[in-house]
Amino acid sequence: MNDKVQAALNTQINMELGAFYTYLSMAAYFEADGLKGFSAWMRHHAEEEMMHAMKLYDFIHARRGRVTLKALGDPKTVWENPVAAFEDALKHEQKVTAAINALVDLAREERDHATHSFLQWFVDEQVEEEEIVDDAIQKLRRIGDFGPGLYLLDREMAASAASSEGQAESEAGEG
Ligand code: FEO
């Protein structure tokens, strides 16, 4: 496959794995803080990031290219409060969106139609990713320091993670 596109896809694998690591670290932070619903949500999201990395990994191989894995940096491990963690997650998603857009531009410049088509899934996925993280931020900002509100949102996040896991399992079963 085109060398420039292959290098950029490999960099994107590293970014998705970095996102996996960040969300897993957030899951561990919430778990240690007794917010098991937030932890489950973050853990589920970490798994989604791993799936994104593997989609890219499989695509490079399908195109008879070469996957080159790179080092991951240490993720942040502590946040001031739940909303700070979600704000970091949103910043991370916005960086991923910018990287995906740059990849789409590169595929277009290089006239790599297969990669261009493949990347459309990621373009759509990023709209959803930014929206769900921003939804959580809005709710957390409304709750502020109101403990019962945080307790209820933790339960809601647990239910959301469980339903997403169930959906992912049934999709995997259909495949
Ligand atoms: Fe794979 Fe959340 O971007």
Q: Which domains does the chain have, with CATH numbers?
A: 3-174 (1.20.1260.10)
Residues of the chain with confidence (pLDDT) below 70:
175
pLDDT of the residue at 12? 98
Longest dimension (CA), the chain: 54
Cβ(58)–Cβ(13) below 8 Å: no
Tens-place pLDDT, residues 43-89:
999 999 999 999 999 999 999 999 999 999 999 999 999 999 999 99
For the Cβ of 49 lying below 6 angstroms from any atom of ligand 1, the answer is yes
For the Cβ of 112 lying below 6 angstroms from any atom of ligand 1, the answer is no
pLDDT of the residue at 175? 56
Please classify residue 148 by burial: count the beta carbons closer than 10 Å to its beta carbon, then call 0-12 exposed, 13-18 middle and 19+ buried: exposed
For the Cβ of 42 lying below 6 angstroms from any atom of ligand 1, the answer is no
Transcribe 24-90 into DSSP letters. Answer: HHHHHHHHHTT-HHHHHHHHHHHHHHHHHHHHHHHHHHHTT--------PPPP---SSHHHHHHHHH
pLDDT of the residue at 14? 98
Shortest-distance atom of ligand 1 to CA 97: 3
Name the closest-CA residue to atom 1, ligand 1: 49
pTM: 0.93
Shortest-distance atom of ligand 1 to CA 15: 1
pLDDT of the residue at 167? 82
